[in-house]
Structure formats: C-alpha cells, structure tokens
Amino acid sequence: MVSERIWRNTAIALCAAVPLSFYVVGDLADAFPGVLTTVSSESGQEAGPRAAAEDDERVTVPAPSGEVAPSVDPETAADLASRMEEHSSDPVVDGNLAYSVVDAGTGDVIAERDAGTARVPASTLKLLTAAALLSEVDPGETLTTRALVSDGTVVLQGEGDMTLDDGDLRTLAKGAAELAREQGSATVRLAVDTSAIQGGQNPAWGSNGTAGGWVTPTAAMALDEGWLDGEEYGPKSSDPVGDVASRFAELLREQGVDVEGAVSEGAAPEGAAAVEVESAPLSEIVRHTLQISDNTTAELLGHLLAAARGEPTTPEGAAAALTDGVRELAAEVGVPSRDLDDLVIRDASGLSTQNRVPPALLAAVLGEVASGGVPALTPILYDVPIAGLSGTLAERFSEGEASTARGLVRGKTGYLGGSSALAGTAVLPDGRTVGYSIVVHGFDGSRAAEARAAADAVAAELVQGE
C-alpha cells in the first residue's frame, strides 16, 4: 500500500535525522559548545579541548515529512550524481573515486560511480562484520568467563570476553578462593580452557598487526583488550590469555590461596563449583567497535560469528564465516552476483590490504540497515559516528562546504595505504534516507589528510540541495 510505504519512509527519515536533533538539543543544553549554546567558549576551556563543532555555522534543514515520494525524482538523482561526480576532478582524487548511494526505502540506486569494482574497504569492513554477526546471533547475548574449582585445580574458562578488567578478575579470584577453601584446598593448580575461541594472529594483517600496536591477537579472554598502556594504538599483548592467567594467579594469592606450578591447558570439569562474570551485551561491543573503529573487538566479532556458524574459531575460519555471511546479506538486499565476483575478505577488522569490497555492496547493506526492514540490524544505524560530533568523525568534516554536513551525516571511516573510505547513512534534502559508500583510492600516502577531506566533501553533497 502507498500509505504504508509513506509511513515507513517517514519513520526511516526520522530515525536517520537523529544526528540533527541530537546536535540542536545538545547545543541548547550546553552539552557541547555551538551557536545555540548559552555558555561562552572561554568558560569551558579548562575542562578539555575545544569541541569539534564550536565555531561552525549551523545549517537549517527542513524537518522530514510524510510526503517523501515512493521513488526518487530523476532530476534530483541526476543532480546528486552530478555534484558527487564533480569531485572526481579534485587534485588528490584525480579520477580515482568510487561511490554508491542507495535509497533505504526502495533499495534503488540513486547515484553511483565505479560501484561494482571491489576496492580496499579498510575499516568500513567493520560495518559488514557487525551486520553479519547481528544477523546470526542475539545482540543481547553476553560472554561468560568462569573460574571452576575441583580437586585442587582452578580452571579459568573464557568464551571470548576480551574486555575483562581487573575488577572482573578480582571477583573471579575471590569467589574461586572461597570455593577452594570450602573444598579444603589452600594450594591449587591453575589451568585455562580456551576451547571456545582458538584465535591467534592473522597472517593477513601483514605489517598492520600486533607488533605495530594495531590489534591484539584474538583470544578466549583478555585483560583490557590486551592494551598494555590503555591506548588504542599503543603496545599490545602478544599473549592475552597468559596475561589474564598471570594476573588471576596474583589475585588468588592475595586472597590467601597459593598457586603451584605453571599454568596449563585444561578442559573445564563438568559439574564443578564455579563463579562467573559476564561481559556487556554483544550489541554494546558492536557499538564500541564502530564508534572508535576498534580492531581488537572487530576481530573478536568475526570469531564469534565463526563459532555461531560452526566454523573453526581461527583467523581463517572467521574470514570464511564472514565471507559467507556477507554473501548472504548481499543476496538479501539484491546486490547483483556479478558485483561479488571480486569480493575478498581476509579479516574482520579491515586491517588486511588484501580485502576487497565493492561500494555497491556496502551501500546496499547500509540502505537495508536504515530501512528498518531487518530489526536485528537497526542498532547499527545509531552505532555509526556522527560527522563532527562523535567517534572517529569527531574531528572530520571541518573544511569548506563539507562542514555544512556536521551533525547531519553518519559514517564509518576507513583508511589504509592509498585508500580512504567512508560509508554510512544520511537524509537527503527531500527527507529520503540513503545508505552510501565512498572510496577515494590510488593516492600517495603523504596526502592522506587531503584524501579524507575529499571523501568528506563527496559525502557532504548528500545533504546539500540543488
């Protein structure tokens, strides 16, 4: 029914328009400085750096209405395509531009350029990882870490929670020590059960792996994601399970239970007394992954997908599971099979330079996310950073006309040696919600900042009128 389609499109537009309303309300409430704020820019300087959007002039955008046409007007589509196409002549682009824009309400392609050619997706691959996982598992699921005590042995068993903190380990150590004493053991042996997630280093990362501070090897458990200095791109643990076991042994000793011998591998005993802690729901881990482009948790999501699909929980198994999941998503959203001929997925985070994904695929999946047609994917719409306001886009969209899109465009960033990608959702001036994917490629690495700005400028065309 036409009326149902109009209502659905209205709902989609209102959802995607959240970035604008978020900015206006936050500005008025002084949550961050801006032209509507009642606090001077000087009054908050001691609290931290200047807000990304502090000095930018805000753009008045008509509120979405229920009058969005069932299909896009050809002239409007032609105008958008023309304006996006003009950026192919930007100096840093020099013709190396690919993009796809898909109507969330109908799945129709509104604008595209070289959209079927598979390009290096960099971290925009994380969007497909999140979509594939949420299509397979309950987003409310949590990951359990247990300490099981039996016959003088404590077995630490993990399901993949790489976000354990010291408080979690203290809880486990305190409970395990009490169980050991109840069983008459003042001294215990310590073992780890990592059978749920085999994990490890992914050879496809190449020079973008653990040694460079990019990612912690995927594991059944890790303390603070294996970030040794608490920094996302600082030193990473090469043995996250070993680090957890070592700290857990220290905490057991603090609780008055001695640990003898070396830590060993061992299966968790069935029926043993246990204490456990739970991770945040998977939906929150997905949100964290997309907001800061966390490579470690992205790889974990890929391994969890492998487990859910019955694949080996190795880097290769995770890549295979993700490839299959993405192909299924592509079929569901109507991406032509020919556009998947060159699809290559070697990891779940996008660190591998071997990955290849066509912009048409990303845009179509994001259009489906924004459509609300698959409720399991809807959270991704709100997890993607907002231009100029949050996550990896907080400092982006700061130059020229691209700044007019601050607060109006959502996008997941991606950068990897000569490829600058941006993929997300936006609301066109006519109230139509779209999924988009943009790739600037083939530039010299020394011009990375220019390439990112060029991608921002292309994305900004989505929210600018004729």
Domains and CATH numbers, the chain: 2-138+288-463 (3.40.710.10), 144-279 (3.50.80.20)
Contacts of 177 (CB under 8 A, 6+ apart): 252, 255, 256, 257
pLDDT of residue 339: 87
Q: Using one digit for the tens of pLDDT, what is the confidence trace for 61-120?
A: 333 334 566 777 899 899 999 999 999 999 999 999 999 999 999 999 999 999 999 999
Higher pLDDT, 189 or 35: 189
Angle between helices 125-134 and 315-332 (to 10 degrees): 80
Answer yes or no: is pLDDT of 14 > 80: no
Answer yes or no: is pLDDT of 13 > 70: no
Answer yes or no: is pLDDT of 376 > 80: yes
Q: How far lies 42's CA from each of 26, 37, 39, 50, in Å?
A: 18, 12, 8, 9
Place of tokens 């010299």: 444
Q: How far lies 51's CA from each of 23, 27, 393, in Å?
A: 12, 11, 12
pLDDT of residue 71: 76
pLDDT of residue 466: 59
Q: Are strands 187-193 and 273-278 parallel, antiparallel or unpaired?
A: unpaired
Cβ atoms of residues 343 and 358 within 8 Å: yes
- Give the residue-averaged pLDDT of 321-334: 95
Answer yes or no: is pLDDT of 56 > 50: no
The residue type found at 141 is E
Cβ atoms of residues 345 and 357 within 8 Å: yes
pLDDT of residue 19: 44
- Name the average pLDDT for the chain: 87
Helix, strand or coil for residue 363? helix
Contacts of 122 (CB under 8 A, 6+ apart): 350, 355, 414, 415, 416, 419, 420, 421
DSSP state of 239: -
Dihedral sign, CA of 233, 238, 241, 245?
negative
Nearest to 20 by CA among 333, 409, 319: 409
Torsion angles phi and psi, residue 24, rounded to 5: -60, -50
CA count, 13 A, side-chain hemisphere, 48: 5
Q: Using one digit for the tens of pLDDT, what is the confidence trace for 260-279?
A: 999 999 999 999 999 999 99
pLDDT of residue 69: 66
Torsion angles phi and psi, residue 449, rounded to 5: -60, -40
Q: Residue 122: left (phi > 0), alpha (psi -120 to 50), or beta?
A: left
- Give the residue-averaged pLDDT of 290-316: 98
Answer yes or no: is pLDDT of 18 > 80: no
The residue type found at 28 is L
- Give the residue-averaged pLDDT of 452-465: 95
What's the CA gap between 387 and 436, in Å, rounded? 14
What's the CA gap between 432 and 9, in Å, rounded? 7
Higher pLDDT, 399 or 86: 86
- Give the residue-averaged pLDDT of 217-225: 98
pLDDT of residue 67: 57
pTM of the model: 0.86
pLDDT of residue 399: 86
Answer yes or no: is pLDDT of 25 > 90: no
